[in-house]
Structure 1
Amino acid sequence: MIQQESILKVADNSGAKTVKCIKVLGGFKRRYASLGDLIVVSVQQLRNKSKSTSKVLKGGVFRALVVRTKKRYKKRDGSLFLLEENAVALINKQGNPIGTRILGPIPKILKKKKFMKFVSLSVGLI
């Protein structure tokens, strides 16, 4: 579960390496975000190789989609799956992804939540 001040990895190639959660969207007093939720983030670090070609700047404020969390999730068939890290993909104001690839797998829950643009950019589904 993601909350304010959480440090997250960026799972796309937008140029950001780590971001900090500013606000969880989707309700007046909502505290936690899980898979498929939207949050507002601030860029903390940029990737070293792409500082000149980066699509984002340090300190920039963006919306992001949570694509991986450490929390366990139970599927309908009874199996559990657990991911290693908390990661997000940056999006613009129209809801389109900023990056052109999503690194690492993403869960099938995002496909059910109508985020097909992110599913098509990812390497694989869990």
Structure 2
Amino acid sequence: MWNLSGNLCLRTAQKVLQGANEFSTTSTANHIMHMTRLRVVDNSALGKQAMLEGRPPKCIHVYNKTRVGTIGDKVMIAINGQKKKAVIVGVKQKQRSLVPKFDSNNIVLIDDNGTPLGTRIYAPIPSVLRKILKERCVPKKIDYTKLLSIATKFV
């Protein structure tokens, strides 16, 4: 009698384990790394076209040591069959205190010398970005002050 109930419990446990293989228990990746989809928040023609077609740009490379992007990092993206550089202005991942968390991963397209391709940024930009980008400004190299000047809203 004990054997039969033991076998019954074993079969039930096997069915439960088989059902557990149908879904994943890992958390979603909120980091900006290789092949992450991004949202262009400026009014550049290339960015508008990609977002209207429903083919958002994807991250190819993050220019930092850890290869995981946060606010203020420069990334290379693939957009409409082209490679462009961009600056991250908002991320979904958990942030330190006084840095806002966004609903999407936002970027602004830039040239090689740091000037933005668009003339206006529509999404709100964290005010911490002003401090981060001014620290990264190197004379005669990349100047991010133009990017800050075209922003319309700060959070």
Letter in 2 for 1:102: I
Contact 1:39 1:66 in 2 (8 A): yes
Alignment-derived partner of residue 78 in structure 2: 42
TM-score (structure 2 length as normaliser): 0.64
TM-score (structure 1 length as normaliser): 0.77
- 1:65 aligned counterpart, secondary structure: strand
Runs of 4+ in 1 over 4 A off after TM superposition: none
| Aligned counterpart for 1:95 among listed residues 114, 120, 144 | 114
**Structure with bigger RCO (C-alpha 8 Å, 6+ apart):** 1
Contact 2:100 2:126 in 1 (8 A): no
Distance in 1, Cα, partners of 2:91 & 2:127: 13
Alignment-derived partner of residue 59 in structure 1: 81
- 1:110 aligned counterpart, secondary structure: helix
Within 5 Å, which residues of 2 pair with 1:1-126?
1-15=31-45, 16=47, 17=51, 18-27=56-65, 30-43=66-79, 58-75=80-97, 79=98, 81-113=100-132, 114=134, 115-126=144-155
Distance in 2, Cα, partners of 1:116 & 1:107: 15
Q: Give the total of aligned pairs.
A: 107
- 2:39 aligned counterpart, secondary structure: strand
Provide the identity percentage: 32
Distance in 1, Cα, partners of 2:99 & 2:67: 24
More strand by share: 1
More helix by share: 2
Measured against aligned partners, the alpha-carbon deviations of 1:44-93 in whole angstroms (never above 9, x if no partner) come to: xxxxxxxxxxxxxx211111000110123233xxx563211101001111
Give unmatched runs, 5+ long, in structure 2.
1-30, 135-143
1:40 Cα deviation from its structure 2 partner: 0.4
Cα–Cα, structure 1 residues 80 and 105, in superposed 2: closer, same or farther, change >3 Å? closer
- 2:57 aligned counterpart, secondary structure: strand
Contact 1:72 1:80 in 2 (8 A): no
Give unmatched runs, 5+ long, in structure 1.
44-57
Contact 1:110 1:116 in 2 (8 A): no
